[in-house]
Amino acid sequence: MNEPVLTLEALKSWPRSDGKTHLAVLGFPIKHSVSPPMHNAALAKLAETDARFANWRYHRFEVHPNDLPHALDEFLAAGFLGLNLTVPHKVIAFDKVYVTEGAKPIGAVNTLVRDARHPNGWIGFNTDGYGLAKAIEEELNIEIGGSDILLLGAGGAARGAAVQCMQAQCYSLNVLNRSPQAMHELVALAKSVNPKIPARGILPNDLSHIGHSSLVINATSAGLKPDDPQPVDLAALPRPRAVYDMIYNPAETKLLAQARALGIPAANGLGMLVHQGARSLQHWIQAATGRADVRIPVDVMRAAAERALAGH
């Protein structure tokens, strides 16, 4: 199913009492998001054993950043159960909704759940860190807790990753970034989350200061485009135990190709995408049914995401 790109115009005549439960991802742009096929495949699978899910639908909406504040009210009025937010809305929504403790240090939310207990009607979670940790555990057999981490990048995704590393009690955190200011800010944030864990910044010409790095996590966008530089030369580092690249499209970045050539276990960001989505779905199901034990079909979600990325 190729879910059409909707705009806020569609909410004006939204069928409020059609007996369906509506979910959506909001972004600008949004047409390349694989979340709609991924979630609708999961809902179809869940509907095979629980008829309630046959009426759940996940849509995509292109929403201009200026429109987000009033859009949140409009989705509420139209009866939506939940929303996923992607660039640039994760940060904009942060100030507009009630934010869970876990998401507060990140400064961004990617999952909203309708909740009448809060004046603005939504509660905001960030499931990206969970998705990252779960994918690393599942695909690389490494727990972030207790690991030495070399985090590449200091943007929004790196922020979520750094908070996750500190909350999960990594052994140490090194943040490597091209621009010093963003790097220093991220190190300060990491220290504020857990001052007991050693955290420090590294500039690209400073690699000799990295004593030991068991897990390299790429949270830069270097690798999205074919002519992008590699964010770090793995051969210039103490040999890592594994490399996780948050990028999933392309499926193999230069960084991952080098890890493969060096025989270092490595994985791309698809697992993170799938698991953050699975966690969002869990939040919505729990809000609607009170059940926290519904098994989310992550394999089905992964297969649907892979098909969508392959253009099918």
Rule CB under 6 A: which residues touch ligand NDP?
A: 128, 131, 153-158, 177-179, 182, 219-222, 224, 228-229, 231, 246-248, 269, 272-273, 276
Strands 172-176 and 122-125 come out as unpaired
Assign 195 to helix, strand or coil.
coil
Give the active site residues.
Answer: 90
Cα gap 78→2, rounded to integer Å: 22
Phi/psi-derived region of residue 107, left when phi > 0, alpha when psi is between -120 and 50, beta in every other case: left
Cα gap 268→217, rounded to integer Å: 10
User: Least separation, in Å, of the C-beta of 128 and ligand NDP?
Assistant: 6
Looking at beta carbons, which residue is closest to ligand NDP? 155
User: Least separation, in Å, of the C-beta of 110 and ligand NDP?
Assistant: 8
Of residues 43 and 151, the one with the C-beta less far from ligand NDP: 151
Assign 180 to helix, strand or coil.
helix
User: Least separation, in Å, of the C-beta of 159 and ligand NDP?
Assistant: 7
User: Least separation, in Å, of the C-beta of 100 and ligand NDP?
Assistant: 18
Of residues 113 and 158, the one with the C-beta less far from ligand NDP: 158
E-assigned strand segments in 190-308: 199-202, 215-218, 242-245, 266-267
Of residues 179 and 192, the one with the C-beta less far from ligand NDP: 179
Q: What backbone phi and psi angles, to 5 degrees, belong to 113?
A: -125, 130
Contact 24, 282 (CB under 8 A): no
